[in-house]
Amino acid sequence: MTTATVSLELHELEKMREEALEEARSIQSSMLPQEPVRSANVGISHAFQPAAEVGGDFLDYFEMTDGTFGLYVGDVCGKGLPAAMYAALAVGTIRGVHKTGLPAQQVLSTLNRRLMLRGATRRHAAVQYARFDPRTRVMQIAGGGMPGPFHLSRSGCRALEIRGIPPGLLDSAASYETSEIRLEAGESMLFFTDGLSDAFDASGESFGLERLQAICEAKFCSSEAELLDEIFCAVSRFSRGQTQYDDMAAAVFSYREEEGRGRTAGSTIPIG
């Protein structure tokens, strides 16, 4: 085999690799919202920064026909086209289930069963799914394998503890707990993947949840887009010069009470 032949084959392999990455990026882009949600009392925005090697982060949010709002954020283990394809499977399942109006924990249980049926080895998806009813101001949240989410209020930024097995990991019969939080006017929820908190600086220190919480507390009065911009800029400054190995995805959900309604302090109620 001549040097020219080897060079040509290497060029073709690199071309195929780039085409596969481009396909993965296209798949990943299709799993993100096209525009923010703006209603009388709800605002939702997101930010996404892909890694050099495509990963499996995904998120979406939407208003449902009954007037409630849905939101989910997920992170497939692994990278490249296989992770993007697995994320597409997870998104397709959630999109098919959430329209039925099932409670959050049942959406996660259904997702887990269907991913387990596929039997994809070495793959699973950490996911959080939330549903908000503006009439009651109650948000249901179920999840497994994800950090947070954070509840932003005038008293500070509080990390909620949402326990559960990442869908597709171990047991098709796994059940999920649902937590409920009642939002007061002006309060927000931050959902995010661990690409933000796990970003490293030159010394190997991670950005961490504490820094993320401090930003949320300092920018409590900011808009959804402004808060997301501050978070991503802070992570970028922190990890300057370092290769980004994981996708970074986040969504901010804000409740703005309509005029004339009363207020009740936020509270968390496990019901699973």
pLDDT digits (tens, 9 = 90+) for 137-194: 999 999 999 998 999 999 999 999 898 999 988 888 788 989 999 999 999 999 999 9
* DSSP count for the chain of H helices, then E strands: 6, 12
pLDDT confidence of residue 265: 34
Per-residue pLDDT band for 270 (boundaries 50, 70, 90) equals very low
- Can you tell me the distance from the alpha carbon of 272 to that of 265, in angstroms, rounded to the nearest whole number? 22
Angle between helices 104-118 and 80-98 (to 10 degrees): 140
Neighbours of 28 (CB within 10 A): 24
**Is the predicted pLDDT of residue 65 greater than 60, yes or no?**
yes
Cα 198 to Cα 205: distance, rounded to the nearest angstrom: 9
Q: Which of 17-26, 150-159, 231-240 has the lowest mean pLDDT?
A: 17-26
Domain residues of the chain, as ranges? 3-270
- Can you read off the two tokens belonging to residue 209? 């949840």
Q: Do the Cβ atoms of 247 and 56 come closer than 8 Å? A: yes
Torsion angle (degrees, nearest 10) of CA 161, 107, 131, 269: -40
Distances (CA, A) of 26 to 17, 54, 80, 127, 252: 14, 10, 12, 21, 24
Q: What's the pLDDT tens digit per position in 66-112?
A: 899 999 999 998 777 778 888 888 998 998 887 777 889 999 999 99
CA 177 vs CA 93, 161, 163, 225, 271: distances in Å = 19, 11, 7, 30, 7
Specify the long-range contacts of residues 33-37, CB closer than 8 Å, at least 24 apart: 33/59, 33/60, 33/61, 33/62, 36/224, 36/225, 37/61, 37/62, 37/63, 37/69
Q: Which of 196, 189, 172, 199 is nearest to 266 (CA)?
A: 189
Task: Report how far residue 220's alpha carbon sits from residue 168's, in angstroms, rounded to the nearest whole number.
Answer: 35
> Are 147 and 184 within 8 A, CB to CB?
no
Give the SS3 label for residue 93. Answer: helix
Q: Among 3-12, 43-52, 80-89, 182-191, which stretch is predicted with the lowest mean pLDDT?
A: 3-12
- Of the pLDDT bands very low, low, confident and very high (cuts 50, 70, 90), residue 267 is very low
* CA 110 – CA 202 distance, rounded (Å): 42
Residue 7: pLDDT band (50, 70, 90) is low
Question: What's phi and psi for 6, nearest 5 deg?
Answer: -60, -45
Among all chains, which residue has been given the structure tokens 């499977």?
A: 89
Which CATH number among 3.40.140.10, 3.30.2290.10, 3.40.50.740, 3.60.40.10 corresponds to the domain 3-270?
Answer: 3.60.40.10
30 pLDDT band (50/70/90 cuts)? confident
End-to-end CA distance of the chain: 64
